[in-house]
Structure 1
Amino acid sequence: MITETVNAVIILVKGILIGFAVSAPMGPIGVLCVQKTINKGRFVGFVSGLGAASADSVYAIIAVFSLGFLQKFFTDNQFILQIVGICVLLFLGIKIFTTNQTKQIRKRARKKHSGVLEDFISVFFLTLSNPLTIIFFGASIAALGIFEYKHTFLTQVIIVLGVFLGASFWWFLLTGFVNLFRHKFRLKQLWWMNKISGGIIIILTLIAAVGMYLSGN
């Protein structure tokens, strides 16, 4: 009993490490959550991060439970999903770059937390549009030797739970750190932050598009 408990804790910790590692690289999703934290507050930024964590958990479920039909769907439609993700990210980058935050801040003063669910859903599907994430999970699970332990339904659930907790912890830390400096930003600085955030998202998305094109040739 004690051995099983220890193994469960070890598996949970490894799952947390995987979730943290997959979220930590500052790609377009990270920049987007930072921008939302600065413009809308920590709560909205964190909820947006939870959208990414939830999408990562979906891929963890696919990797851990080896759902063949879903793996086939994502593999067969990988190119289309990547195209959709790139188009949406480009749209978001341009929108952030061109948005007048002065007007939006005044609107939020009257309705502070509007659109939280929309932020969660949009980031969830944006993160889900990168099916290559499943390869990361598969490689990480193999590298950490998680299935050296007894392979049961419970261990699979623990891994997925760990991934979600690890990813959520990263977004909690990131949005908390950004929020410390949020109130030091004046409207002019927020305007520049939007230009920078939008520009970074556009550049990273274009780099991803070029990488996808080169890998296909």
Structure 2
Amino acid sequence: MLDFGLVATGVVIGVAVAAPIGPVNLIVIRRTLRYGRLNGLVTGSGAAMGDGIFAAMAAFSLTAAIDFLLSYEFWLQTIGGLFLIILGLRTLLSHPHLAEPEPDKVSGVPAHVFLTTFALTITNPATMLGFIAIFSGVAGLSSAGQGYGHAAILTGAVIAGSLLWWFGLSQFVALFRQRMSDHLLEIINRVSGGVIILFGVAVLGRVAVHLLG
């Protein structure tokens, strides 16, 4: 029998992990304003998939996979930080035009958009550690003694919660799309690009502190 309490808990965790403003939120907002709500949702779904992988590791207690990622934490954070800086620079230097439409259908959404947010999520071991902390701190979320069904339901609920956040965000931002102009879109690109670069610098800063510490 489906445990609706477990599902609700997983959905809440998925929303809570996705909601804090970070690079992915900025990318989803920018792409929704330029291309529409579907593009924003698919952009966010890349992050939801990354969240799902980390949730599965925590729920299924995949110790070997967790140890593997943690052993390469330095390189993952370095790659993630550099990726953010490059992405921020591209955003900062781009000159978007609303007159350049993108088909409002799934096939019209470039795969690289999904892969970009997936890569940003999966190269952040802190997200995985966050899931482990949440699952360890909330009674009943450990898969120990619960079986694979328990872990699978929890993982699916976390992905659903994350997708729910991206759906809500893209729907909300799309309400303002009709008021956008090329000038406003360029300002948004400048601001979001600069903030994404700062996120990347912060990640590399943490790596440098850890290396020198």
Per the TM superposition, whether the score is higher than 0.5 is yes
Which residue of structure 1 aligns with residue 128 of structure 2? 134
Q: Tell which deviates more after alignment, 61-70 or 14-23.
A: 61-70
Show the counterpart of 1:145: 139
RMSD: 1.8
1:156 equivalent in structure 2: 151
Q: Hey, what does 1:19 align to over in structure 2?
A: 14
Structure 1 letter corresponding to 2:94: T
Aligned amino acid, residue 23 of structure 1: A
Q: Structure 1 193/16 Cα, relative in aligned 2: closer, same or farther at 3 Å?
A: same
Deviation at 1:148, TM superposition (A): 7.3
Q: Check the 8 A contact 2:135/2:141 in 1, yes or no.
A: yes
Distance 1:148 1:100, change over 3 A: closer
Aligned pair count reads: 209
Task: Give, in whole Å, the separation in 1 of the partners of 2:19 and 2:57.
Answer: 21
Contact preservation (8 Å) 2:30, 2:189: yes
Residue 39 (1) aligns with residue 39 (2): no
Q: Distance in 2 between matches of 1:204 and 1:89?
A: 7
Tell me how far apart the structure 2 counterparts of residues 77 and 211 of structure 1 sit (CA, whole Å): 15
Report whether the alignment pairs 1:118 with 2:112. Answer: yes
- Report the counterpart of residue 68 of structure 1 in structure 2: 63
Residue equivalent to 2:174: 179
Deviations 1:123-157 (Å, cap 9, x if unpaired)?
A: 11121110121111111112221247961211111
The whole-number CA distance in structure 1 between the counterparts of 2:110 and 2:133 is 33
CA deviations 1:79-115 (Å, max 9, x no partner) are 101111111111111101110112xx44436x56644
Deviation at 1:212, TM superposition (A): 3.2
Structure 1: gaps spanning 5 or more residues: none
CA contact (8 A) 2:47 2:118 kept: yes
Identity of aligned residues (%): 29
1:85/1:129 contact within 8 Å kept: yes
Q: Which protein has the bigger helix share?
A: 1
1:209 aligns with 2:212: no
Secondary structure, in 3 states, of the residue corresponding to 1:50? helix
CA pair 164-148 structure 1, distance change in 2 beyond 3 A: closer
SS in 1 for 2:125: coil
Contact 1:96–1:198 (8 Å) recurs in 2: yes
Rounded Cα–Cα distance in structure 1 between residues aligned with 2:77 and 2:206: 11
- Residues 98 and 162 (structure 1 numbering): CA distance in 2 closer, same or farther, change over 3 Å? same
> Is the CA contact 1:50–1:120 (under 8 Å) kept in the aligned structure 2?
yes
TM-score by length of 2: 0.91
Q: Distance in 1 between matches of 2:104 and 2:153?
A: 36
Q: Which amino acid aligns with 2:49?
A: S
